Amino acid sequence: MAEKIKEYESKELTVIWKPEKCIHSEICYKGLSDVFDPKARPWVNVDGADDQTIKQQVDKCPSGALSYRLKNESETKDEIEDEQIVEVSKGGPLMVYGNIKVKHHDGSETYKHRVTAFCRCDASSNKPYCDGSHKKIDFE
Ligand code: SF4
Ligand code: FES
């Protein structure tokens, strides 16, 4: 079945949301509630902030559910971070900010960009990554 994709357009920017990837980290609406409001319809208001501010917030989405496309650019750039930051989120995943390489036990490797959420609660069906299940089990 095709992946669900929703798009929200301003003049220069299109915010793309893939609901099935969202891990409900709440980072987007805690960080920029004028644009991301889960109670509003549509829940993304691209007129709520300037494009640069929206882009910076979208870059913090740990699941890849949010991304953007610029009208005058064909592809999104991934900026290389020279520093990685690890953050333990309260009742949620281990967040790693910056570009990283994940080595899996079967020898395969995955490159992750910007933000990656690793499961701390053991309930994720997508380990080593968080899939939002910590909410269902009230992980503390
Ligand atoms: S995973 Fe991304 S889209 Fe979902 S709530 Fe968190 S920041 Fe928002
Ligand atoms: S920490 Fe999110 S599913 Fe485990």
DSSP 88-112: E-TTSPEEEES-EEEEPTTS-EEEE
What's the pLDDT tens digit per position in 56-111?
Answer: 999 889 888 999 998 876 555 445 456 899 999 999 999 999 889 999 999 999 88
**Measuring CA to CA, which residue among 1, 25, 56 is closest to residue 129?**
25
Ligand 2: nearest atom to the Cα of 118: 1
Domain boundaries, the chain: 6-70, 85-136
**pTM of the full structure:** 0.75
Non-local CB neighbours of 67 within 8 Å, separated by 6+ positions: 15, 16, 18, 58, 61, 76
User: pLDDT tens, 112-123?
Assistant: 878 899 999 999
The count of other CB atoms within 10 Å of the CB of residue 130 is 27
Q: Which of 21, 27, 120 should be mutated for ligand 2, with most atoms under 8 A from CB?
A: 120
Could you give the percent of the chain with pLDDT greater than 70?
92
How much distance in Å is there from the Cα of 28 to the middle of ligand 1? Answer: 6
Q: Does domain 6-70 have CATH number 3.30.70.20?
A: yes
CA distances in angstroms from 120 to 36, 37, 130, listed in the order given: 26, 26, 8
Of 62, 68, 66, 56, the residue nearest 19 (C-alpha): 66
